[in-house]
Amino acid sequence: MRPEAAPATEQGGGQTGPIDTDLHPHVSGGLGALVEYMPRNARVRSASDAAMHETERPGSNPRRVAAEHMDRLGLSGAVLIPLESINGFTDPLTASVYSRALNRFLIEKWLPADPRYHLALMVLPHDPAKAAREIRDHRNQPRIAGVYLPLLNILMGSSYYHPIYKRALEQGLPVIVHPAGPEGAYYGAPVVAGGVPATYLERHVALPQIAQANLSSLIMNGVFEEFPGLKVVFAEFGFAWAVPLMWRLDMDWRRLRRETPWVRKPPSEYVRESVRFTMQPMEEAPLEQMHKLMRMLSADRTLMFSTDYPHWDRFDLADVMAAVPPDYRARVSHETALETFPLMSRSLTGGRPYSSVCRSTLR
């Protein structure tokens, strides 16, 4: 028997139901469909000998996605994370043109299609100053939920990324990282341990290595001390790996504190306060073990429901909620998302900030 979905939470005179924190809006026609959203001088560089026409890709029709996914699951909101990758580009100018065009496309084509859609604004990892300007340029767009930062082979604790963190924090936006395709395979993108995976399966299994390295880097280089209040979301990297990593970080921090005096408290505390994980993909462990793991992770503070729609390993709400302890389900379903994405919260609740009515579940 399927478990009941997490209960909705009263908010601002209405109810807030589940929120999908990882929904992918695809572009039919590929990057060529973005040419009309580019500056005129950039269109010449993007010209091709012949245009490739294709049928509608799954996840490329915003109204159909709303009907077949959002309505079917009873979702009250979704964070759109684009996956037309730019971190495999070696030309920063081309990457900038395409990322800005993609943002324009999604703002004009997707956001008007359904008020539940909120965009993770893609920014240019090759040029953090330009990325910060892109965030600033959209400061008056109320349906921007967060900043999507495709990763390069530069760990997130580096001061290289500070302009992005500073601007995101000023605008109340979390920074979201997500596998984009080039990881472990393209020059300049993040690598996995040992070498280049031979198959997609190997690469998919190894992706948490990238998240582990970047989470350690964020904490040990003092990013959360430098930018108090900043939230970082690790989307689609899984989460089960985070518990043993927190143990190891705490252990070595206690023994080697002289190397990182700016890390003022146990690393696990920074994770619980400032880091969030999306639920998909989730290991298929026995139910009792998964419940224990989620409690060790403080999943009522750190974990958010996601589906990865429309991909092959996507989740359904009712199927996945069995893995969540019953007293955590409302938190994982939507409450933590509303706290993590404050601009989306205001949009979904008619301008009212998310209240603290549900925080009594925190321990």
The domain defined by 15-361 folds into TIM Barrel (3.20.20)
Burial 162-197 (b: 16+ CB within 10 A, else e): ebbbbbbbebebbbbbbbbebbbebeebbbbeeeeb
Per-residue pLDDT of 147-183, as tens digits, reads 999 999 999 999 999 999 999 999 999 999 999 877 7
* Weakest-pLDDT range from 13-22, 165-174, 266-275: 13-22
Dist CA 324 CA 322 (whole Å): 5
Dist CA 195 CA 205 (whole Å): 14
Model confidence at 48: pLDDT above 80: no
Pairing of strands 175-177, 14-16: unpaired
Contact present, 339 and 330 (Cβ < 8 Å):
no
Q: Provide the pLDDT for residue 360.
A: 35
Model confidence at 232: pLDDT above 60: yes
Q: Provide the pLDDT for residue 44.
A: 44
Enter the pTM of the model: 0.87
Report, as an integer, the average pLDDT of 17-35.
80
Per-residue pLDDT of 287-341, as tens digits, reads 999 999 999 999 999 999 999 888 756 666 777 888 899 999 999 999 999 999 9
Dist CA 245 CA 267 (whole Å): 10
Model confidence at 348: pLDDT above 60: yes
Dist CA 324 CA 7 (whole Å): 13
pLDDT confidence bin for 52, thresholds 50/70/90:
very low
Per-residue pLDDT of 273-293, as tens digits, reads 999 999 988 888 899 999 999
